[in-house]
């Protein structure tokens, strides 16, 4: 078992002021594989002071200096890629092939920072005013467990690239990828105090970050409830907030689309990482006359997934990340049945041949309506809801008919029709006919899916503020 006894503050690995530890459980085996310190408000205070002390020097570092650090970190991370990928698979049950993809995406993202920084308009002149963009200050980053390394990158690394210093709280379910990344940055010469990592729970460490007077901004990925709580606490000191929250993303498939391709792509997007993806396409909206055909295509695709040990290359669907999530998803499956949706495949029972672990059968509901809770609430598990429509207008109305607005997709054989519908969807990212996710493009939500954007230069600009100097 891996025991982490220290947190990272001011460039040093130091003991937490707390005496308790947090178990990290492998969701495929239900066994404790590691422990991490349960940090305290006092730990956050030490980290915030270290970040504040290092801010002036780091904020005045050159773009070349920051780029060099990020490039070196990319090399260090690449050198530990297999180790970190294996731990992601063990911490949260993400299939190893997807875990490797996450690590590779972060390696590429760190290298891309050097290209992104010069594209930002750091200074411009308007009349007698010189307008400059400056780092906002100390950033509190609170990350989720579903993409533990990528979440740290889009928050902590983007903030550091902007010239900010960071107090990072990784999810208590997956803290070790953050510790490993801190080791990498320490080894490549990141100045002390620029990155600080305090493990712990949301109610203790997260709330201490949101209320600390030395922290200027809080960026969180989490549930709608967690985002509202952070915004409430941050408002007490008027901190800026960036919130990447939930989603119930629609996938409109018109009759003139390549139906099999569209359905398979939609199922894959819904089921990636066992459905634990904020922008996953969890509502498939299809012509009423194609409902049964689509349901059978979706059933076949879902049943093609290989469920099992996430450490094996052959596994394409691992467990959900923890016991509470397992119970939550199973309850939603029962709810879908009680609401009257048709279960085409899946169910709440463990998959065949599996006797332990937080595994969920990939579940497809058809003949649902948009008023059902399974169509309105974020399940965060491998559950797809198929909803019929009678007209383009009704499809758009259904797609926009939730409190969320994170992701969406449109499929049509007519590109102009697809683009016109996409322009009317209230979502921060819309994929048209299977357009690939572009990590240099902005990612974030409309409505209650959040505030702010992540990704590429847009994610770096999120941590900048404007100053006007008048002559």
Catalytic residues: 244, 278
**Strand duo 129-135 + 123-126: pairing:** antiparallel
Distance CA 38, CA 154 (A): 24
Distance CA 211, CA 197 (A): 17
Distance CA 10, CA 49 (A): 9
Cβ neighbors of 280 (< 8 A, separation 6 or more) are 247, 249, 269, 270, 271, 272, 407
Tokens (6 digits) for 84: 């970190």
DSSP string, 301-365: HHHT--BS-TTSTT--B---SSHHHHHHHHHHHHHHHHHT-EEEE--SSPPTT--SSS----EEE
The answer to whether 69 and 188 are in contact (CB under 8 A) is yes
Among residues 168, 273, 183, 270, which one has the least CA distance to residue 221?
Answer: 168
Torsion angle (degrees, nearest 10) of CA 26, 83, 148, 194: 130
Distance CA 161, CA 133 (A): 13
Tokens 């879908």 belong to 336
């Amino acid at each position: 078992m891996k025991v982490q006894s220290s947190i990272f503050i001011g460039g040093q690995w130091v003991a937490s002021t707390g005496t308790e530890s947090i178990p990290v459980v492998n969701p495929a085996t239900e066994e404790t594989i590691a422990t991490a310190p349960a940090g305290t408000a006092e730990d956050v205070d030490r980290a915030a002071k270290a970040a504040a002390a290092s801010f002036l020097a780091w904020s005045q570092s050159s773009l070349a200096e920051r780029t060099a650090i990020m490039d070196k970190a990319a090399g260090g991370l690449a050198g530990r890629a297999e180790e970190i990928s294996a731990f992601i698979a063990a911490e949260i049950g993400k299939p190893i092939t997807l875990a490797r993809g996450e690590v590779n995406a972060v390696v590429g993202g760190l290298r891309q920072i050097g290209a992104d920084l010069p594209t930002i308009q750091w200074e411009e002149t308007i009349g007698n005013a010189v307008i400059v963009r400056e780092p906002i200050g100390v950033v509190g980053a609170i990350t989720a467990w579903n993409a533990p390394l990528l979440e740290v990158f889009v928050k902590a690394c983007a903030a550091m690239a902007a010239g900010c210093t960071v107090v990072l709280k990784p999810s208590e379910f997956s803290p070790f990828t953050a510790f490993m990344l801190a080791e990498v940055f320490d080894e490549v010469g990141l100045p002390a105090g620029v990155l600080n990592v305090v493990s712990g729970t949301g109610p203790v460490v997260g709330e201490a970050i949101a209320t600390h007077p030395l922290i200027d901004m809080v960026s969180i990925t989490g549930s709608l409830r967690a985002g509202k709580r952070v915004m409430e606490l941050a408002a007490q000191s008027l901190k800026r907030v960036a919130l990447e929250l939930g989603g119930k993303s629609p996938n409109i498939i018109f009759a003139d689309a390549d139906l099999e391709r569209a359905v398979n792509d939609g199922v894959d997007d819904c089921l990636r990482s066992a459905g634990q993806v904020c922008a996953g396409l969890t509502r498939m909206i299809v012509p009423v006359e194609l409902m049964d055909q689509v349901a059978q295509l979706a059933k076949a695709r879902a049943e093609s997934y290989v469920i099992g040990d996430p450490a094996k290359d052959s596994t394409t669907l691992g467990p959900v990340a923890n016991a509470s999530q397992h119970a939550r998803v199973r309850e939603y499956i029962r709810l879908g049945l009680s609401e009257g949706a048709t279960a085409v495949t899946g169910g709440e029972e463990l998959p065949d041949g599996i006797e332990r672990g937080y595994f969920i059968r990939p579940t497809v509901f058809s003949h649902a309506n948009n008023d059902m809770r399974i169509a309105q609430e974020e399940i965060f598990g491998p559950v797809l809801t198929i909803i019929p429509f009678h007209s383009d207008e009704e499809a758009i109305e259904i797609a926009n008919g939730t409190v969320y607005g994170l992701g969406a997709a449109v499929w049509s054989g007519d590109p102009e029709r697809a683009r016109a519908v996409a322009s009317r969807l209230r979502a921060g990212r819309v994929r048209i006919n299977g357009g690939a996710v572009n990590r240099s493009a902005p990612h974030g939500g409309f409505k209650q899916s959040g505030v702010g954007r992540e990704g590429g230069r847009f994610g770096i600009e999120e941590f900048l503020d404007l100053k006007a100097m008048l002559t």
